[in-house]
Amino acid sequence: MSLPPEKASELKQIIHNHLLKMDIHGKIREVLAETVRDDKDSAHRSLSETDFLHALQRRGIIDDVMKDLHFTQVTNTLQELKGILLFLSANIDPSRRYLYLQVLGGKAFLEHLQEPEPFPGQLCSTFTLYLHFRNQRFRSKPVPCACEPDLKEGFLLEIHKDGSKMADATAMLSMCDPVHFVLIKTDTSSETTLISSYFLDWRTVLASPTGKTCFAVELMGVGSECKVPAGVLTVSLELYPPLTETLSTDIISTQQSLERQRTAEKERLFLVYAKQWWREFLEIRPSHQSKLVKIFAQDENGINRPVCSYVRVLRAGRLLESPRQAARFVSLLAHEKAPVVGGGGKQEQWCTLMAFLCRGKGDCEDHATLLCSLLLGFGLDAYVCVGTKAKGVPHAWVLTRGTDGSITFWESLTAHRYLHRAIDPDAPPLAPTPKPSSPYRTVGCVFNHQTFLANCQPSDAVELCVFDFQNQSRWKAMSEEALKSVCAPGSTTSLPPLPPLCAPSLDPAASSNHLELEMRYLVSEHRKDLDLVTVWDDHLSYLLSSALSAYELERCTGVSCGNEEFQDAVRRAVPDGHTFKGFPIHFLHRNARRAFATCLRSPFCEEIVCCRGDHVRLAVRVRVFVYPENACAVWLMFACKYRSVL
């Protein structure tokens, strides 16, 4: 018996809730511990699914669950339930150490105190909790926003040291990697808001005799609200297998105190050095005071960090194939300035990479640091530039230097590339002057993960700037050793760890089909309001695919191809005496109503959608191109053909 997807997910949710209610996690852990204890060879081999299933059946746990759920002689359901039970215990290697982190609910989210209870099936704003720990990423199910949100989820975090033997208490004490919590609110129109970004030191569990501890975590707000509590999560931590010898709380607090002192001392010494370096820079030329030389920047928690710490070498594995595809991916993350309450100009906020990726949008600095990190991963000599665009608007972009000395600017918000040619101010008056190819006006400093350089040329105009970083009369460099002491990975415990990129979970074909059907419905309804009949031409709709594919390929590579074939196919599909009109448009979201409203603002699109005439046939095609982190490039094309009547 097969169920429709919505019924299947509803059944899974009922079973999941029931399993939580009967504390299935606790029962499975007991059976697992007992099985590992009984099996003397378990230290040398992984526990198989069959072994574990037999253990569950011996203890009668599957029978208890079936009885409570009132299932009788339903073999398929039994198999499904066995799958769920096995999933909860899957991939547990007895030779490795795990941290089972459970979120047991939220409270005191006072901003949602007046939030009404959502009706079943009603669209409402949701909270989603994202976690990152030692190169592993997790996310919770979205739950309705409330003063006491029902955030109840378990995450199995692997504590490992590059394939080495099982970590003991002493080895784990030296692991200062925190668990990074990022809480995101998603409203009914799919707009995301960063609620909190919190770093949890999990090592308190090392002092628990039972290997389990439970406590409340107070989440603070972000940006201008970083001192205001956002809410409280109840968190339980449990080590598996339990420690044979635990540590005292004094040892753990001493280790944490030493780490904080070491970090504070490194940061103090760097600040002393940075002040001295800045004084020397100002002595070169008084006008340097007004240059955009940004040494420190505040993150979402209001913490001042050296800008070089926002850039790391980031390799995307198989998820991105080239530097230009990386630039395309970064440009698909929406641009949004940090929200500010009231007037007073721009709110200063650079985001940690995890917060930026979970939110799916950020300011130009977030885009530039991510693109620079990815280009470094692809082996390019990449830097973030801080300067201004037209009208003196502060901006950040990326620069790469070729081995031949060529300079290329990368605009992280659009993926556009510009080849830089400097104007020689000493050239003869009649010499041809290259026109400025880029939108950038001034540059104050450039930096990456291990270099910081301030522009000390007489003019900070980009068109006159020579990017010869070895020339100390043009660029004043900071000490690489000083930067390494506070910006190199692992140098201080205050540095947030670098999360890996996540593979997309969206099905591009299903997303494209769903959005296209919604568009057809919206067009038909719009024409019905105008007393117009809608007749769709499926063949013409299909032909539009090649054009949309060519548009995305051009955005990725900068090379246009396939246009001749598309034009030839359209000529064949449109009979003599008929007129063809097409309107392509690009979006970063998958909200059909928002997209349709935007399209109708264009007179060209409105002309197609509201086309009147003889033998009118309409076509629409949607292509959703999916990138890492579920970033989407949505291409949409409306078209019509009709008999021309003079």
Q: Is the pLDDT of residue 73 over 50?
A: no
Maximum alpha-carbon separation in the chain: 94
For 175-207, what is each residue's pLDDT tens digit? 889 999 999 999 988 889 999 999 999 999 999
Residues 192 and 115 in one domain: yes
> In the structure, what pLDDT confidence band is assigned to residue 628 with cuts at 50, 70 and 90?
very high
Which CA distances in Å does 16 have to 23, 168, 216, 243, 554?
11, 33, 24, 30, 45
Examine residue 380 and state whether it is found in any structural domain, yes or no: yes
Rounded to 5 degrees, what angle do the CA atoms 68, 71, 76 make?
130
Strands of the sheet with 578-587, listed across from one edge: 578-587, 632-643, 614-626
> In the structure, what pLDDT confidence band is assigned to residue 497 with cuts at 50, 70 and 90?
confident
Mean pLDDT along residues 223-234: 92
> In the structure, what pLDDT confidence band is assigned to residue 549 with cuts at 50, 70 and 90?
very high
**pLDDT for residue 85:** 47
Distance CA 607, CA 594 (A): 19
Residues 241 and 301 in one domain: no
For 261-305, what is each residue's pLDDT tens digit? 999 999 999 999 999 999 999 998 888 888 889 999 999 999 999
Backbone angles phi, psi at 306, to 5 degrees: -60, 140
Could you tell me the CATH number of the domain that includes residue 321?
3.10.620
Residues 142 and 236 in one domain: yes
CA dihedral 456, 462, 466, 472 (to 10 degrees): 20
Examine residue 266 and state whether it is found in any structural domain, yes or no: yes
In this structure, the number of other CB atoms found within 10 A of the CB of residue 283 comes to 9
Q: Are strands 417-420 and 442-447 parallel, antiparallel or unpaired?
A: unpaired
Give the whole-number percent of the chain exceeding pLDDT 90.
64
Examine residue 440 and state whether it is found in any structural domain, yes or no: yes
Examine residue 616 and state whether it is found in any structural domain, yes or no: yes
Q: Number of C-alpha atoms within 13 angstroms, CB side, residue 523?
A: 28
Residues 475 and 515 in one domain: no
On whether the CB atoms of residues 482 and 273 are closer than 8 A, the answer is yes
> In the structure, what pLDDT confidence band is assigned to residue 80 with cuts at 50, 70 and 90?
very low
Cis preceding-peptide flag for 241 (omega within 30 of 0): yes
> In the structure, what pLDDT confidence band is assigned to residue 74 with cuts at 50, 70 and 90?
very low
More confident residue, 61 or 358: 358
End-to-end CA gap in the chain: 60
Query: Tokens standing for 208?
Result: 């628990």
Name the domain count of the chain: 4
What is the secondary structure of 456-504 as a DSSP string?
-SS--BGGG----TT-TTTEEEPPHHHHHHHHSTTS-TTSPPPPPPPPP
Domain that holds residue 17: 5-38+46-68
Residues 275 and 413 in one domain: yes
- Say which residue the tokens 């997209």 belong to: 595
**pLDDT for residue 284:** 87
In this structure, the number of other CB atoms found within 10 A of the CB of residue 287 comes to 11
For the ranges 116-125, 185-194, 337-346, the lowest mean pLDDT is seen at 337-346
Residues 376 and 333 in one domain: yes
Residues 578 and 618 in one domain: yes
pTM of the model: 0.84
Could you tell me the CATH number of the domain that includes residue 143?
2.60.40.150
Residues 203 and 240 in one domain: yes
Residues 343 and 479 in one domain: yes
Domain final residue pick, 223, 247, 271 = 247
Q: Is the pLDDT of residue 76 over 50?
A: no
Residues 98 and 199 in one domain: yes
Go through the chain and tell me how many residues it has: 646
Could you tell me the CATH number of the domain that includes residue 544?
3.40.33.10
For the ranges 95-99, 441-445, 545-549, 638-642, the lowest mean pLDDT is seen at 95-99
Examine residue 85 and state whether it is found in any structural domain, yes or no: no
- Say which residue the tokens 């001392």 belong to: 265
- Residue 197, SS3? strand
Mean pLDDT along residues 237-265: 92
For 26-44, what is each residue's pLDDT tens digit? 777 777 777 766 665 544 5
Q: Amino acid identity, residue 321?
A: E
Q: Is the pLDDT of residue 2 over 70?
A: no
Residues 188 and 233 in one domain: yes
**pLDDT for residue 478:** 96
Examine residue 86 and state whether it is found in any structural domain, yes or no: no
What is the secondary structure of 25-68 as a DSSP string?
HHHHHHHHHHHHHH-TTTTTSPPPHHHHHHHHHHTTHHHHHHHH
Examine residue 449 and state whether it is found in any structural domain, yes or no: yes
More confident residue, 176 or 345: 176
Residues 57 and 123 in one domain: no
Examine residue 77 and state whether it is found in any structural domain, yes or no: no
DSSP 8-state class, residue 540: H
